[in-house]
Every structure is written in C-alpha cells, then in structure tokens.
Amino acid sequence: MDMGKDCGARRVGRAGLFGILAAVLTCTGGSTASADEARKLNVVTTVGMVTDIVRVVAGEHAEVVGIIGEGVDPHLYRASRNDVAKLQDADVIFYSGLLLEGRMSDTLVRMARGGRKVFAVTEGIDAKRLIEPEGADGHPDPHVWMDVSLWSRAVETVAEALSSCDEANAAAYRANASRYRGELAELDSYVKKVIASIPTRQRVLVTAHDAFGYFGRAYGIEVRGIQGISTESEAGVADINRLVAFLVERDISAVFVESSVAEKNVRALVEGAAARGRTVRIGGTLLSDAMGASGTYEGTYIGMIDHNATLIARALGGEAPERGWRGKLAEQKDR
Ligand SMILES: [Zn+2]
C-alpha cells in the first residue's frame, strides 16, 4: 500500500514551507518553530468524540483541529467555507461515519477523491455489532460511541490510520492507544455497575432522539427516543402521546434533554404526563451527539460518558458517586 509514502511526501512539502516561514520569522526577531513542530501531522476531525480520541492517540505528533463544536448537532451540520479550507489543508481527516455527519458526506467523499487521507473511525467495527434499526433501509445506527467497548475499537482504527501515514511515530500511536483503551475498559465497567444499580422498573432512558441504542444494549437499560435515529425526522403529536402513555404506565420519574437537540419535545412529554396527573421531571442534560465545553472534563470522551452514566443512574434512583467515576465531574444540581 502506498498510503504511507504519499502522506510522507506531503509532510516533507509542509515541512519545507514551514522552514521558509521560520526563516522569515528569524529575520524579524520572532521565535522559530522547532524542526519537530514543523513535522507535525495536520489532522482535521469532525465531531468532538472523534477529535478527542485522535488527540489522545496522536499525542504530541499531530495538530488536531475539530470542526463540529460543543452543542452542535452533527446530523444537521453542513461544512462551512472555512471548514472546507481546513479539510483541504489536512494531511489526514477523521470522521465518525455511518452517516452521522449526513450533510458532510459529499464534502468528505470529494476530499477522499481529491487525494486526502480520509478515515471513518467506525470502519473497523464488526458489522455484526452494529444496530440496524427497523425501517432504516439497512443504514446502521451511527451512535456507536455510546458503547465504550465499540468506541475502543475506533481508537485502534485511529492508531492504525495514523501509523500508516506516519510510520516514524507508529510505536507512539500504538502505545497511546493501548494505554487509553485500558482506561476505557475501566470506564466501561463503571458504567455497567452504575446503570445496573437502577431499580429494574425505573431502568428506562427516555431522551430527545434515538442516540442511546448502543448505550441501552451495552449497559442493560431500555431506551426510548422521541425523535428517530437522525434529528432530520420530526416527531409528531402521536409519537409524543405514545411516549406519555408509556411514562404513565411504567411510572417513570425522569426524562432527559440533550445538549445538541432542542428541548421542546421533552418538555411536551413532561406537560403531557402532568395533564394525566403524573409528575415526570427532567433528569438533566445528556451529552449525546456532542461533548461538553472544550477544556472541561465533560469536554472529553471519557468525561462525556461519565457525565451521562452518572446523571442517568442518579436521576433514576440508582447509585453513583455525585462527582462521577473519578470525582472529576462538575457539580450540577441535577446530578
Ligand atoms: Zn444523533
């Protein structure tokens, strides 16, 4: 495969250009970039969950820029002109795939055809482990990061892809991935434990859209979304009424909003239940398709999953430490 050679050749070109810029800076008395910095891979990613695992695996060997930010819905996101420029300049591009970034597909395909190295981090996941929802025309559910063991496989794919583009640092990429996957295995156990602590009858997760199918399967909690797998589909009055009846029948005490989806449908559930004499509260805001603020613990993949699992367990009567898996979650009144 000539992928490695190709990436290598392009990196030499970038390093050469950087060398010229550094020389100019020297003349004006500015600081110079080291040769190491000049050789860093320029990596562009889509959603935060992908950005974070690529940063962890790349470590100091790449500059990683994510283009879909905090609280932004990837199903509806269109690449801006500025994003396209970043993608065009990238040595390597990572996206989640399985049509999560539905409106960016054309752009990503064009980049791949134009010679960019474009990888879907979900491509190494065994197709048998993907959920195929009814009526989805054979399109698997893209929300695979909700099952930590599946996302751990994506970490391996990132390590292999970076290694193929930058053989000189392959050992570092593999070591970073291996260390991180060990941490993810521990996180996976924590999520299993706290979700299992929810009383059986309350072990139902009702959210704004169907982002938690993998979470439900991996951790043993029934899931219901008001909107479908993609937020492209609008929920109707009948969907809301059906869920209200379900909440009342099962005596479910809390439902959840999501940071990247409008709250109005979830509020309609709460009001619908109230009209039938039941109090259902909003258990908090889950991080479904976007992570928390960058620079915070919740703005990392591990923090996102910890936040969700801890919030869900506590809101539904289970047992979980207030500040989560390793005491790093921000204080929140909902938790
Ligand atoms: Zn989604």
Q: Cβ(66)–Cβ(108) under 8 Å?
A: no
- Annotate 164-186 with b (16+ C-beta within 10 A) or e (fewer): bbbeebbebbbebbeebbeebee
pLDDT class of 35 with cuts at 50, 70, 90: low
CA of 211 relative to ligand 1 center, distance in Å: 5
pTM exceeds 0.75 for this model: yes
pLDDT of residue 7: 55
Query: Could you report the per-residue pLDDT of 144-171, keeping only the tens digit for each?
Result: 999 999 999 999 999 999 999 999 999 9
Q: Is the pLDDT of residue 243 over 90?
A: yes
Tell me how far apart the alpha carbons of residues 238 and 191 are, in angstroms, rounded to a whole number: 33
The tens digit of pLDDT for each residue in 71-86 reads 899 999 999 999 999 9
Residue found by looking up tokens 């320029």 in the block: 42
pLDDT value, residue 31:
35
At 23 the pLDDT is 30
Alpha helices for 3-62 (secondary structure H): 3-27, 35-38, 48-58
For the ranges 40-49, 132-141, 148-157, the lowest mean pLDDT is seen at: 132-141
Domain ranges of the chain: 3-190, 198-315
Of 232 and 5, the structure prediction assigns the larger pLDDT to: 232
| C-alpha of residue 139 to centroid of ligand 1, in Å | 13
Q: Is the pLDDT of residue 14 over 50?
A: no
| CATH annotation of 198-315 | 3.40.50.1980
Compute the mean pLDDT over every residue in the chain, rounded to the nearest whole number: 88
Residue type, 117: K
What is the structure's pLDDT at 12? 36
Please give the distance, rounded to the nearest whole angstrom, from the Cα atom of residue 143 to the centre of ligand 1.
Answer: 6
Q: Distance, CA 100 to ligand 1 centroid (Å)?
A: 7
pLDDT for residue 229:
78
CA 311 to centroid of ligand 1, rounded, Å: 19
Q: How far does residue 331's CA lie from ligand 1's centre (Å)? A: 26
Q: How far is the CA of 313 from the centre of ligand 1 (A)?
A: 21
**Residue 230 pLDDT level (bands cut at 50, 70, 90):** confident
Supply the pLDDT for residue 26: 26
Question: Is 66 in a helix, a strand, or coil?
Answer: strand
pLDDT digits (tens, 9 = 90+) for 248-266: 999 999 999 999 888 999 9
161 sits in which H/E element: helix 148-165
Question: Half-sphere exposure of residue 46, counting CA atoms within 13 Å on the CB side?
Answer: 25
The 10s digit of each residue's pLDDT in 80-110 is 999 999 999 999 999 999 999 999 989 999 9
CA atoms within 13 A on the CB side of 129: 19
- The class level of CATH for 3-190 reads alpha beta
Q: Are 74 and 258 in contact (CB under 8 A)?
A: no
Is the distance from CB of 184 to CB of 151 less than 8 angstroms?
Answer: yes
Least confident of 37-41, 165-169, 321-325: 37-41
Q: Report CA Rg, the chain.
A: 22
Instruction: Look at residue 256 and give its three-state secondary structure.
Output: strand
* Alpha-carbon gap, residue 182 to 162, rounded angstroms: 19
Which pLDDT belongs to residue 32? 40
Distance 290 CA to ligand 1 centre (A): 9
The pLDDT score that the predictor gives to residue 3 is 41
Question: What's the pLDDT at 1?
Answer: 38
**289 alpha carbon – ligand 1 mean position (Å):** 5
* Distance, C-alpha 324 to centroid of its chain: 19
The CA 207 to ligand 1 mean position distance, Å, reads 11
In the reported structure, the alpha carbon of residue 56 is separated from the centroid of ligand 1 by a whole-number distance in angstroms of: 23
Mean pLDDT calculated for residue range 290-317: 96
CA atoms 321, 187, 291, 224: torsion sign: negative
Which stretch of DSSP H or E encloses residue 224?
strand 222-227
Residue type, 202: Q
| CA distance linking residue 100 with residue 145, whole number of Å | 11
> If you measure from the C-alpha of residue 90 to the centroid of ligand 1, how many angstroms do you get, rounded to a whole number?
26
CA of 4 to the centre of ligand 1 (A): 33
